[in-house]
Structure 1
Amino acid sequence: MTAPASLTASGPRALGNSCQPDRTCRLHRSFGWARIANALNQKDFIIGMNSAFTGGNGRRTRRFENWLGKIVMENAIYIGLSRQSALRRELYLVANNIANTSTNAFKREIALYSPYETDTKMDEKLDFVIDHGTIVIHQPGTLQPTQNTFDVAIEGPGFFVVDNGRQPLYTRNGNFKLDPDNQLITGNGELVMDDGDNPIFIPQDGRKIEISPDGTISAGPEVLGILKVVEFEDLARMQKRGGSLFDTTEAPKPAEQSKLMQGHLETSNVSAISELTRLIDIQRSYEGVKNMLDKEAERLRTSVRKLGSPQAA
């Protein structure tokens, strides 16, 4: 007994190079499970495979059930798993966005997916989910006044340059302060760099500190340094390094479209309401995939019970 054309082990959508009765056939990634289920309706093929697994005595064996289960369920499981895995990662991103709603200059992250189409020869499409990674939304947050001397916001596409002791990093979070050595640092302790890539020292002698729109820090007539602000052509190449810090392989260029505002901070660009709405959508989608897999499991049990019984012969 030979298999119908839709189940032969040849061609780009074949089950595999070895699809003998004594082996479990593994489906090609793009082979639709609905197409397999349709082929299983061809009774002569099932009878022949049942006979091969049972030795012709008509008694259903675990080997036959395992073979049939692998054929029918494998792609349904993979499709559901691909979607559930994507939803799980998206849930993590949404939760992280919500947790950083109050983090200064935090940038919202979203997941990027695309379908991997499965040819089922049917109107209904069952597609794998391809995870392409994470996108950072660099839309600026709003600028909120704080009246604090060392709070600085950037109006424009620029980034401050800071140093964590290993490499330069970039941030739009201008919530600065002084360390015990009177060096200007970020809230996490990274040194804030001047236009010569050196730390900035602020003397505590009672003089008023002013920061001009071009980044010049002065105490009365004395210039203490100039905040280094840079811009980038391709923000898509920037990688998050925790909180509101970024790294990139692109060489920075001097800021020409940015100006600074002392006594202001940029807020997070996360909308808590939008993220909570997305959280509900993720939960509903996850439940939908679970229901699909539950129904497929029940259909499998019914198929094995009917097609593997002596009456099928």
Structure 2
Amino acid sequence: MIRGLYTSASGMLAELSRNDVTSNNLANVNTTGYKKDTAVNSAFAQMLIQRVDDRKQTDISQRPVIGTLGTGAIVDEIVTIHEQGQLRESSNPFDMAIAGNGYFVVQNDNGTYYTRNGSFTVDGEGYLVTSQGDMVVGQAGPINLGDANDVVVDGSGNISANGENIGTLRLVTVANQQELTKVGDSLFTGGQVVDGIDGQVKQKFIESSNVNVITEMVNMITTMRAYEANQKIISGHDNTLSQAMQVGRLR
């Protein structure tokens, strides 16, 4: 019975973690380039159940097996889903999206990062930057547009203004996307990257998050139902233990 308490408690903790992941996904449904997460559960080792009296038999093969008993669950890892979000057209010539597999490269004082968030702008010094002020990296370093007008970006990331080439975006592909680590603001780090993308750059487009609101709401409801079920099981075990203690006192 005590084992049942621990099993249900582990289930409640796992559902709390799943709920946190779902809540974070919903909070970022409008975040450009955001990639949703999902919690992956794993089970503790199962126990083989046999009747108490059957354990007295010396021949193990003659002991009838009732079945197995789960001993709990835990969130094994949080996995990021890197599938592409919907591309939405905009009127900003500095908005860019990647149709296909690949990442923009940006840098700040803390290092170099990868992102699918192409909602760029130009700072006071003429550099192409993200909405957080991180420098957008080109093949020759940070891209300076100066006071250029009529900026055009082609599918390969080549940037031109007034018919003259300004630079080329550095675009990379990650060999194993699950090796990427989120650092916030739709930025990733880690993984083995190679230059080039399996797709094309689309100017005046931005990539929406890949969060499906309906799916996440269903996940949240399912999580809460599972949490409540474990809660009721613990309450039932508690009542049974309380009654057992009362019987012990009467004796």
Q: Which TM-score applies when normalising by structure 2?
A: 0.89
Corresponding residue for residue 117 of structure 1: 45
Letter in 1 for 2:146: P
Superposed CA deviations along residues 199-247 of structure 1, whole A, max 9, x for unmatched, are 1111225x31000111011112321111110001100101111131111
1:273 aligns with 2:217: no
Superposed CA deviations along residues 94-120 of structure 1, whole A, max 9, x for unmatched, are 111011111111111000111113315
Q: Which segment is superposed worse, 113-122 or 289-298?
A: 113-122
Superposed CA deviations along residues 100-141 of structure 1, whole A, max 9, x for unmatched, are 111111111000111113315044633311321100001100
Which of 240, 245, 268 is 2:182 aligned to? 240
Cα separation, 1, equivalents of 2:249 and 2:244: 10
Contact 2:22-2:216 at 8 Å conserved across structures: yes
Corresponding residue for residue 150 of structure 2: 208
Corresponding residue for residue 65 of structure 1: none
Deviation at 1:304, TM superposition (A): 2.1
Cα separation, 2, equivalents of 1:251 and 1:96: 27
Which of 21, 24, 28 is 1:100 aligned to? 28
Superposed CA deviations along residues 43-98 of structure 1, whole A, max 9, x for unmatched, are xxxxxxxxxxxxxxxxxxxxxxxxxxxxxx2x223212211111111111111101
Deviation at 1:266, TM superposition (A): 0.8
1:294 aligns with 2:235: yes
What is the alpha-carbon root mean square deviation over aligned residues?
Answer: 1.5
Identity %: 28
Distance change (3 Å), C-alpha of 1:310 and 1:219 = closer
Q: What secondary structure, in the 3-state scheme, does the structure 1 residue paired with 2:184 have? A: coil
Distance change (3 Å), C-alpha of 1:101 and 1:133 = same
Contact 1:120-1:126 at 8 Å conserved across structures: no
Corresponding residue for residue 17 of structure 2: 89
Q: What secondary structure, in the 3-state scheme, does the structure 1 residue paired with 2:85 have? A: coil
Q: What secondary structure, in the 3-state scheme, does the structure 2 residue paired with 1:112 have? A: strand
Distance change (3 Å), C-alpha of 1:96 and 1:256 = closer
Cα separation, 1, equivalents of 2:147 and 2:133: 19
**Structure 1 alignment gaps of length 5 or more:** 1-32, 34-72
Cα separation, 2, equivalents of 1:123 and 1:173: 51
1:195 aligns with 2:130: no
Cα separation, 2, equivalents of 1:118 and 1:200: 57
Contact 2:171-2:197 at 8 Å conserved across structures: no
Q: What secondary structure, in the 3-state scheme, does the structure 1 residue paired with 2:188 have? A: strand
Letter in 2 for 1:285: A
Cα separation, 2, equivalents of 1:145 and 1:84: 43
Contact 2:96-2:204 at 8 Å conserved across structures: yes
Letter in 2 for 1:210: V
1:230 aligns with 2:172: yes
Contact 1:175-1:186 at 8 Å conserved across structures: yes
Q: Which TM-score applies when normalising by structure 1?
A: 0.72
Q: What secondary structure, in the 3-state scheme, does the structure 2 residue paired with 1:102 have? A: coil
Contact 1:109-1:134 at 8 Å conserved across structures: yes
Superposed CA deviations along residues 6-57 of structure 1, whole A, max 9, x for unmatched, are xxxxxxxxxxxxxxxxxxxxxxxxxxx4xxxxxxxxxxxxxxxxxxxxxxxx
Which of 136, 155, 162 is 2:80 aligned to? 136
Distance change (3 Å), C-alpha of 1:237 and 1:106 = same
